[in-house]
Amino acid sequence: MLNRRAALAALAGTASLALTVSACGKESEGSSQSRSEGGTVGIAMPTQSSERWLADGKSVVGGLKKRGYKTKLVYGNDDPKAQLSQIGTLIEQGVDALIIAAIDAKSLNGVLQRASDARIPVISYDRLILGTGNVDYYVSFDNEMVGRIEANYIIEKLGLEKGKGPFNIELFAGSPDDNNTKYFFKGSMALLQPFLDSKQLVVPSRQTGLGQLTTPRWDGPTAQKRMSGLLTRWYVGRTLDAVLSPYDGISRGVLSALEAQGYGSAGKPLPIVTGQDAELPSVKSIIAGRQSQTVYKDVRVLAGAAAWMVDDILRGRATRINDRFSYNDGVKDVPAYLLQPQSIDKTNYEVLVRDGYYTAEELT
């Protein structure tokens, strides 16, 4: 059921497309080389409250330093105005390039115009920045595939393709100001909708529209509160069989609400609960039999891609992309390099140790 985007996965695994970088048109070859030698790259990350973003920041800095760059790393701590100010300061300090994981995808148009005026190339990192023509490239994982992996896990574990059902499911989505949210949801619903139509999957709350499902700032306590409300209103005399959760922090909030209302006991097993990012607490939860699944996205590889992309831009070289048209920011199609995610559950979590993502001791 994941074949819809198999062509993109194959493309990512073979020789990538090349695109002459926009920075080449802004500077001569000599000036681009001078910027790359000992240049400084500004890195704006969204929050320090998630271990995922701490890992991203560390990995991006490490990848750039290996290529001889200085770095200035800032965290907006989930405050769009703070991130806007931080990016403005990086521009004033004369950074040679910007790597930005936006908090609010629609709030950066003005400051990125300043970056363009200063001839500072911009890479949108993991979260596509919207409403501006001043993003040069996008580097991320295949976001629709993330949603499809989560949905496919539910379909397989419930036996929906074998005709089993009906089962009760509730749906959660990510932050409304994160452009990835719609891609995760689109990918999931591409697979789940036929089973909702056939009534093999039933949503007792009837909350199925994206606007009803979003979780501001991907916040776990917000998800916990919503899940508690759903259980109180819709699950008296009903059993919840599955929860589509797009992110591990949301999943942990959902699980807290479920366990507070008796799920996880001998007579009331936990439903299937998906997730994303393979955060350490959630991987431990999977091993313990609580959370069911997560989507593994090796941020070290993502950070490495951002680092070589910056290096290509500042040296005036052609850089690799493998998607030209899927990611439109409202002004233009942003050329992208997409990586492929992987499903992780109790049967294969050891891959995280084999990859060196976690140590065996960390998972005990």
Kindly list the averaged pLDDT for each block of 10 residues, start to end, along the chain of length 364: 44 39 38 61 96 95 97 97 98 98 95 98 97 97 97 98 98 96 97 98 98 97 98 97 98 98 94 97 98 97 97 95 94 97 98 97 96
Q: Which CA distances in Å does 15 have to 8, 101, 181, 320, 323? A: 12, 27, 29, 9, 13
Report pLDDT for 13: 40
Report pLDDT for 2: 61
Please state the pTM of the whole predicted model: 0.86
Judging by beta carbons within 10 Å of its beta carbon (0-12, 13-18, 19+), is residue 203 exposed, middle or buried?
A: middle
Residue 79 near residue 101, CB atoms below 8 Å: no
- From the list 14, 44, 30, 20, the residue with the least C-alpha distance to 111 is 44
Q: For residues 211 and 172, give the distance between their C-alpha atoms in angstroms, rounded to a whole number.
A: 10
- From the list 42, 50, 51, the residue with the least C-alpha distance to 83 is 42
Q: Which CA distances in Å does 313 have to 64, 107, 128? A: 13, 25, 19
Report pLDDT for 37: 63
Report pLDDT for 220: 97
Report pLDDT for 266: 87
- What are φ and ψ of residue 39, in 5° steps? -70, 170
Report pLDDT for 23: 38
Report pLDDT for 118: 98
Q: For residues 256 and 265, give the distance between their C-alpha atoms in angstroms, rounded to a whole number.
A: 13
Q: For residues 45 and 101, give the distance between their C-alpha atoms in angstroms, rounded to a whole number.
A: 5
- From the list 361, 181, 187, 346, the residue with the least C-alpha distance to 278 is 346
- From the list 289, 287, 283, the residue with the least C-alpha distance to 266 is 289
Q: For residues 204 and 185, give the distance between their C-alpha atoms in angstroms, rounded to a whole number.
A: 19
What is the torsion angle, in degrees rounded to the nearest 10, for the CA atoms of residue 311, residue 312, residue 313 and residue 315? 80
CA angle 132, 65, 37 (to 5 degrees): 80
Q: Which CA distances in Å does 233 have to 74, 204, 220, 347? A: 42, 10, 20, 34
Sheet of strand 122-125, all strands in order from the earlier edge strand to the far edge: 70-75, 40-45, 97-100, 122-125, 137-141, 336-339
Q: For residues 307 and 302, give the distance between their C-alpha atoms in angstroms, rounded to a whole number.
A: 9
**How long, in residues, is the chain?**
364
- The secondary structure of 51-101 as a DSSP string is HHHHHHHHHHHHHHHHTT-EEEEEE-TT-HHHHHHHHHHHHHTT-SEEEE-
Residue 143 near residue 8, CB atoms below 8 Å: no
Report pLDDT for 28: 36
Report pLDDT for 35: 54
Q: For residues 283 and 3, give the distance between their C-alpha atoms in angstroms, rounded to a whole number.
A: 27
